[in-house]
């Protein structure tokens, strides 16, 4: 560093601070360039597109907010929203329950079996989502899957997992299998950070294992659980990959507009309505925004955010 | 201190240059061809096509032409390719010069001004080489938007061995078809007579057309007018016929082109495959074909044997896109790539295509062709040539993808869920298509 003699302390501190700021910005610039090019500009462009309307017969014209009004009164979009809301109500508690119970059990037992189980439960998360969904599509297939053989052992007919009545449960199963491990690791890490002397104190006071788990551990990891639920909520509202992959074998049970994200995709790439697809995408973003911020507001005491 | 700032700037500059280097290497579309360019100085025309064994046809063209060379890539099959094409139209760049399009989607792209009218580029010169029906499919009024390549006249492929086992004769009318299905079931056969897929799309449309359905009236000369008539009595009768068969479990309702469906086609679960002329090629390409199976071809069953109606399922064309840099060269490619006997010998023998090019269509070579898959039967002479000769063209809508998705939903409701009857389903289809057309700015005639 250059030698500064007899300068006042505050000026030296200010110079050093400004310099650090400049160097900091310099290092961020490559990332900022890519971030702006691939995220900010496309978002602005897509928002601009969503304000226009382009029909097959008459071409493009500016309509402004009328597109958004159309989106929020579109029965297909609202139906898709209702469906993902239902998925959220069923899938998030299911994933959370599996993750919580697994984390609590693994935290209590310290054996090598527990360590191995941790890896096994986490393993599905390491499988890419599309591969996992493809795998399950074969497992569900009446011809290629094991359901026929397994149910046949009990003398029963295998249910059709891909029929309209069963597709909801089938999709819940795939997502729970894939994501519970990830949430379990998050909760487990939070559990590991609790001081074990609290448990000893509780045992001295006469608490049983179950009471320790429910009265001490769960409240102390509340902020992690809120984070898990927020991620799960955002992910579920944007549900896309699994229904799309399953659609190739069950397109009767899964119409093109099954979830809002699938609807936006079909509008853009099957029906060539790019402007309305942008509108649907932004409308979904608005709903996700409201949903996640609303949830964080409701849990402001537990979520640990200021 | 200054050195550190310069070092930081230097790192940023190098990183930026390296990244732009990454993108520009893959940026030039013309540089990457699947085939080899034989004359690098000639004009290059990029082509997207998914025909099997197409590379040999491309090589043949490149050998015989000095001024134009084809640069071919397989950009996906069917909807996969159409999605890429649609996106490149929207963005204004990235489309090939010549593209393979099924005739059912031509109006969907011509309405977006993505296809060049070939009447200005000598389309009339080759008109005489194609049947009237085929030419009608690629024209709209006076404009010609593509050159026909192959067609899909429909026939009936059946497993002779299965039908013989149960003493069933190959049906010639739909009434006999229903009786055969019932007889097969009564005899306790493990499979069914045939499959009626909810996602049949053009297949279902062809079956309706056989009963006289003319679902769409559209002419690109008046692009905002459209006529929609999908709930005519013919279509309702056909859908009701199939609903009776599916409700009694006499035919399956499996989705077409899935792994399950492919397996059932070749292992004898379906005794009959109502197919287009490209059906045999499709069957031969599937794995697990039973060696003991004996396949035969017969004409498609008729409603009224005194007045037979022939129909078409699929078939493709080559169109020139409006993003082509050298439209004349692109038009030459579209007209000539499948315009020689040699090219068609490859197309027929290796790719199992059904030509619409009359010089080979009318030739003895094609008529007398014995198909080893069908035990040496002359399937063209007996089945597909008569079917093609009776074909008079068909009009599709400019939103055919949407129309097919809606049709699939309605057919699923009728045959899979059993929640509607055929008449109500087609009435619902009519109203949903009318609503969509109005939303898209069309005037319904």
Do B66 and B134 share a domain, yes or no? yes
Do B433 and B321 share a domain, yes or no? no
Span B18-38, average pLDDT: 59
Distance from CA of B265 to the nearest CA of A (A): 13
Span B339-363, average pLDDT: 90
CATH number of B73's domain: 3.40.190.10
Q: What is the pLDDT of residue A272?
A: 84
Please state the domain count of chain B. Answer: 2
Do A20 and A126 share a domain, yes or no? no
Q: Give strand pairing partners of B72.
A: B47
Q: Which domain holds residue B345?
A: 29-151+314-374
Q: What is the pLDDT of residue A17?
A: 84
Do B75 and B140 share a domain, yes or no? yes
| SS3 per-residue string spanning chain B | CHHHHHHHHHHHHHHHHHHHHHHHHCCCHHHCCCCCCCCCCCEEEEEECCCCCHHHHHHHHHHHCCCEEEEEECCCCCHHHHHHHHHHHHHCCCCCCEEEEEHHHHHHHHCCCCECCHHHHCHHHHHHHECHHHHHHHEECCEECCEEEEEEEEEEEEEHHHHHHCCCCCCCEHHHHHHHHHHHHHCCCCCECCECCCCCCHHHHHHHHHCCCCCEECCCCCCCEEEECCCCHHHHHHHHHHHHHHHCCCCECCCCCCHHHHHHHHCCCECEEEEECCHHHHHHCCCCCCCCCCEEEEECCECCCCCCCCCEEEEEEEEEECCCCCHHHHHHHHHHCCCCHHHHHHHHHCCCCCECEHHHHCCHHHHCCCEHHHCCECHHHHHHHHHHHCCCCCCCCCCHHHHHHHHHHHHHHHHHCCCCCHHHHHHHHHHHHHHHHHHCCCEEC
Q: What is the pLDDT of residue A13?
A: 57
Q: What is the pLDDT of residue A3?
A: 54
Do A39 and A75 share a domain, yes or no? no
Q: Measure the CA–CA gap between B62 and A246, rounded to whole angstroms.
A: 42
> Which B residues 68-127 touch A at CB under 8 Å?
79, 83, 86-87, 89-90, 108, 111-112
Q: CA angle, B42 as apex, B36 and B44 as ends, to 5°?
A: 60
Please state the domain count of chain A. Answer: 2
B296 located within any domain? no
Do B201 and B96 share a domain, yes or no? no
Do A26 and A167 share a domain, yes or no? no
B6 located within any domain? no
Structure confidence by residue, pLDDT tens digits, B141-186: 889 999 999 999 999 999 999 999 999 999 999 999 999 999 999 9
CB B238 within 8 A of CB B210: yes
Q: What is the pLDDT of residue A7?
A: 52
Q: Measure the CA–CA gap between A123 and A118, rounded to whole angstroms.
A: 9
A60 located within any domain? no
Distance from CA of B438 to the nearest CA of A (A): 10
Query: From residue A134, how far is each of A128, A248, B259 by CA, in Å?
Result: 10, 10, 12
Q: Measure the CA–CA gap between B205 and B400, rounded to whole angstroms.
A: 11
B244 located within any domain? no
Do A18 and A140 share a domain, yes or no? no
B94 located within any domain? yes
Q: What is the pLDDT of residue A302?
A: 76
Q: What is the pLDDT of residue A248?
A: 82
Do B408 and B366 share a domain, yes or no? no
**pLDDT range class, residue B36, cuts 50, 70, 90:** confident
Do B332 and B224 share a domain, yes or no? no
Is the pLDDT at B372 greater than 90? The verdict is: no
Q: What is the pLDDT of residue B257?
A: 83
- What's the whole-number average pLDDT of chain A? 87
CB A122 within 8 A of CB A99: no
Percent of chain A with pLDDT over 70: 94
- What's the whole-number average pLDDT of chain B? 88
Distance from CA of A76 to the nearest CA of B (A): 13
Is the pLDDT at B5 greater than 70? The verdict is: no
Question: Which residues from chain B sit within 8 angstroms of residue A55, using beta carbons?
Answer: 439-441
Do A21 and A108 share a domain, yes or no? no
Is the pLDDT at A280 greater than 90? The verdict is: yes
Structure confidence by residue, pLDDT tens digits, A176-197: 999 999 999 999 999 988 888 9
Query: Residue B12 is nearest to which of A29, A58, A255, comparing CB atoms?
Result: A29
Do A163 and A272 share a domain, yes or no? yes
Do A87 and A202 share a domain, yes or no? yes
Question: Which residues from chain A sit within 8 angstroms of residue B405, using beta carbons?
Answer: 255-256, 266, 270
Residues 6+ apart with CB under 8 A from B369: B348, B378, B379, B380
Query: Residue A256 is nearest to which of B112, B405, B441, comparing CB atoms?
Result: B405
Is the pLDDT at B291 greater than 80? The verdict is: no
Do A116 and A214 share a domain, yes or no? yes
Q: What is the pLDDT of residue A29?
A: 93
**pLDDT range class, residue B22, cuts 50, 70, 90:** very low
Q: Which domain holds residue A279?
A: 67-298
Is the pLDDT at A174 greater than 50? The verdict is: yes
Do B45 and B135 share a domain, yes or no? yes
> Which B residues 188-217 touch A at CB under 8 Å?
198-199
Q: What is the pLDDT of residue B273?
A: 93
Q: What is the pLDDT of residue B31?
A: 56
Whether ipTM tops 0.95, in short, is no
Do A42 and A182 share a domain, yes or no? no
Is the pLDDT at A73 greater than 50? The verdict is: yes
**pLDDT range class, residue B57, cuts 50, 70, 90:** very high
Do B45 and B138 share a domain, yes or no? yes
Do A211 and A286 share a domain, yes or no? yes
Is the pLDDT at B334 greater than 90? The verdict is: yes
Q: Measure the CA–CA gap between B114 and B93, rounded to whole angstroms.
A: 11
Structure confidence by residue, pLDDT tens digits, B128-139: 999 888 898 999
Residues 6+ apart with CB under 8 A from B73: B32, B33, B34, B46, B47, B48, B96
Do A164 and A27 share a domain, yes or no? no
Q: What is the pLDDT of residue B24?
A: 42
Span B314-329, average pLDDT: 93
Distance from CA of B203 to the nearest CA of A (A): 16
Span B423-430, average pLDDT: 94
Is the pLDDT at B82 greater than 60? The verdict is: yes
Span A280-303, average pLDDT: 90
Do B332 and B435 share a domain, yes or no? no
Q: What is the pLDDT of residue B28?
A: 41
Higher pLDDT, B292 or B57: B57
Continuous segment of H or E residues that includes residue A183: helix A167-192
Q: What is the pLDDT of residue B12?
A: 59
**pLDDT range class, residue B23, cuts 50, 70, 90:** very low
Residue B384: name the closest of B293, B312, B304 by CA. B312
B142 located within any domain? yes
Q: Measure the CA–CA gap between A161 and A148, rounded to whole angstroms.
A: 11
**pLDDT range class, residue A170, cuts 50, 70, 90:** very high
Tell me which of A109-113, A165-169, A177-181, B252-256 is least confident. Answer: A109-113
A99 located within any domain? yes
Which residue on chain B is closest to A24 by alpha carbon? B8
Q: In 10 A of CB A210, how many CB atoms?
A: 9
CATH number of A80's domain: 1.10.3720.10
| Chain B interface mutation, best of A56, A164, A273, highest count of B Cβ atoms under 10 Å | A56
Span B338-357, average pLDDT: 90
Tell me which of B64-73, B84-93, B284-293 is least confident. Answer: B284-293
B330 located within any domain? yes
Do A41 and A136 share a domain, yes or no? no
Query: Residue B9 is nearest to which of A26, A266, A270, comparing CB atoms?
Result: A26
Span A242-262, average pLDDT: 88
Structure confidence by residue, pLDDT tens digits, A214-230: 888 888 888 888 988 99
Do B81 and B128 share a domain, yes or no? yes
Span B403-413, average pLDDT: 91
């Amino acid at each position: 560093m250059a030698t500064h003699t007899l300068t006042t302390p505050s000026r030296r501190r200010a110079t050093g601070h400004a310099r650090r700021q400049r160097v900091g910005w310099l290092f961020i610039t490559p990332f900022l360039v890519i971030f702006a090019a691939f995220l900010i500009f496309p978002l602005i462009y897509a928002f601009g597109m969503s304000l226009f309307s382009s029909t097959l017969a008459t071409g493009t014209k500016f309509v402004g907010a009328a597109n958004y009004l159309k989106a929020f009164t579109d029965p297909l979009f609202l139906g898709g929203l209702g469906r993902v809301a239902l998925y959220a109500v069923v899938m998030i508690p299911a994933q959370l329950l599996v993750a919580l119970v697994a984390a609590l059990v693994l935290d209590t037992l310290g054996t090598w079996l527990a360590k191995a189980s941790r890896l096994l439960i986490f393993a599905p998360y390491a499988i890419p989502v599309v591969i996992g969904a493809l795998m399950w599509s074969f497992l569900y297939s009446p011809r290629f899957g094991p359901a026929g053989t397994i149910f046949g052992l009990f003398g029963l007919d295998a249910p059709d997992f891909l029929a309209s009545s069963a597709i909801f449960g089938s999709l819940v199963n795939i997502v729970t299998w894939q994501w519970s491990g990830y949430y379990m690791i998050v909760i487990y890490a939070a559990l590991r950070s609790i001081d074990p002397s609290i448990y000893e104190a509780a045992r001295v006071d006469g608490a049983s294992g179950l009471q320790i788990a429910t009265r001490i551990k769960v409240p102390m990891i509340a902020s992690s659980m809120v984070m898990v639920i927020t991620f799960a909520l955002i992910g579920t509202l944007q549900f896309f990959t699994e229904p799309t992959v399953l659609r190739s074998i069950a397109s009767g049970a899964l119409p093109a507009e099954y979830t809002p994200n699938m609807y936006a995709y079909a509008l853009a790439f099957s029906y060539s309505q790019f402007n309305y697809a942008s509108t649907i995408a932004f409308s979904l973003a608005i709903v996700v925004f409201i949903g996640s911020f609303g949830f964080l507001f409701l849990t402001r005491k537990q979520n640990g955010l200021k | 201190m200054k050195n550190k700032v310069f070092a930081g700037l230097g790192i940023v500059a190098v990183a930026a240059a390296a990244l732009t280097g990454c993108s520009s290497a893959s940026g030039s579309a013309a540089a990457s061809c699947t085939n080899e360019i034989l004359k690098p100085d000639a004009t290059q025309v990029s082509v997207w096509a998914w025909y099997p064994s197409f590379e040999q046809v491309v090589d043949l063209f490149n050998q015989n032409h000095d001024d134009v060379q084809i640069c071919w890539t397989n950009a996906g099959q069917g909807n996969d390719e159409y999605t890429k094409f649609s996106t490149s139209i929207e963005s204004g760049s990235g489309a090939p010069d010549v593209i393979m399009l099924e005739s059912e989607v031509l109006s969907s792209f011509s309405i977006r001004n993505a296809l060049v009218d070939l009447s200005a580029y000598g389309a009339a010169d080759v008109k005489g080489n194609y049947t009237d029906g085929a030419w009608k499919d690629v024209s709209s009024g006076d404009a010609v938007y593509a050159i026909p390549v192959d067609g899909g006249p429909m026939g009936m492929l059946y497993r002779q061995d299965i039908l013989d086992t149960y003493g069933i004769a190959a049906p010639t009318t739909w009434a006999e078809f229903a009786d055969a299905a019932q007889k097969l079931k009564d005899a306790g056969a493990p499979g069914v007579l045939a499959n009626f897929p909810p996602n049949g799309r053009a297949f279902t449309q062809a079956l309706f057309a056989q009963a006289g359905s003319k679902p769409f009236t559209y002419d690109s000369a008046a692009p905002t007018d459209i006529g929609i008539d999908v709930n005519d009595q013919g279509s309702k009768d056909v859908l009701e016929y199939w609903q009776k068969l599916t409700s009694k479990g006499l035919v399956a309702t499996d989705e077409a082109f899935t792994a399950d469906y492919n397996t059932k086609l070749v292992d004898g679960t379906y005794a009959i495959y109502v197919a287009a002329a490209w059906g045999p090629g499709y069957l031969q390409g599937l794995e697990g074909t039973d060696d003991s199976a004996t396949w035969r071809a017969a004409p498609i069953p008729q409603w009224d044997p005194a007045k037979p109606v022939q129909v078409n399922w699929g078939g493709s064309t080559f169109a020139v896109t409006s993003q082509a840099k050298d439209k004349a060269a692109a038009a030459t490619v579209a007209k000539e790539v499948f315009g020689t006997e040699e090219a068609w010998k490859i197309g027929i023998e290796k790719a199992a295509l059904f030509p619409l090019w009359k010089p080979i269509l009318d030739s003895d070579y094609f008529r007398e062709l014995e198909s080893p898959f069908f035990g040496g039967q002359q399937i063209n002479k007996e089945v597909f040539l008569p079917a093609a000769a009776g074909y008079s063209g068909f009009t599709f809508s400019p939103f055919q993808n949407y129309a097919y998705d809606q049709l699939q939903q309605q057919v699923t409701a009728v045959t899979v869920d059993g929640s509607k009857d055929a008449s109500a389903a087609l009435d619902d289809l009519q109203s949903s298509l009318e609503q969509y057309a109005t939303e898209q700015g069309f005037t319904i005639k």
